[in-house]
């Protein structure tokens, strides 16, 4: 390889490194200031997730006849609530006990779907 090809290869390599650093910086949000924040918000708080109906996870702390306390938050049960284990098998409210970890979805500010994560 002659010196001109070596210089070209070195320049390409340096350019690739610079492009990689710039891509990383932009991905981390270290770009030029822009009006308004266009970066995605990856750190949504629990209340926003709950309002949007997204899945949440927590430990059952107490069970009532029409309520379930998960991680210190009391939720009412939706009239159409479904309770299943993590294999998809139906469960009943009376099978739940404090200490179980559940994934849950809210609908109309009530628990609409509960998936019990069984210990492995």
CATH class of the 46-117 domain in this structure:
mainly beta
* Cα atoms in the 13 Å half-sphere on the side-chain side of 54: 10
- pLDDT per residue over 47-96, tens digit each? 444 444 689 999 999 999 999 999 999 999 999 999 999 999 999 999 99
Instruction: Judge if pTM exceeds 0.85.
Output: no
pLDDT tens digits, residue range 13-58? Answer: 666 655 656 555 555 555 544 444 444 444 444 444 444 468 999 9
d(CA 80, CA 74): 18
In the structure, how many helices (H) and strands (E) does the chain have?
2, 5
């Amino acid at each position: 390889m002659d010196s001109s090809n070596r210089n070209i290869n070195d320049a390409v390599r340096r350019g690739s490194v610079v492009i990689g650093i710039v891509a990383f910086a932009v991905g981390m949000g270290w770009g030029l200031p822009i009006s308004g924040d266009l970066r995605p918000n990856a750190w949504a708080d629990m209340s926003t997730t709950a309002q949007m109906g997204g899945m949440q996870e927590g430990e059952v702390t107490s069970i009532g006849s029409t309520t379930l306390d998960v991680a210190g938050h009391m939720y009412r049960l939706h009239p159409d609530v479904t309770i299943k284990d993590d294999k998809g098998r139906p469960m009943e409210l009376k099978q739940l006990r404090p200490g179980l970890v559940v994934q849950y979805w809210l609908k109309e500010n009530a628990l609409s779907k509960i998936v019990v994560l069984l210990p492995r």
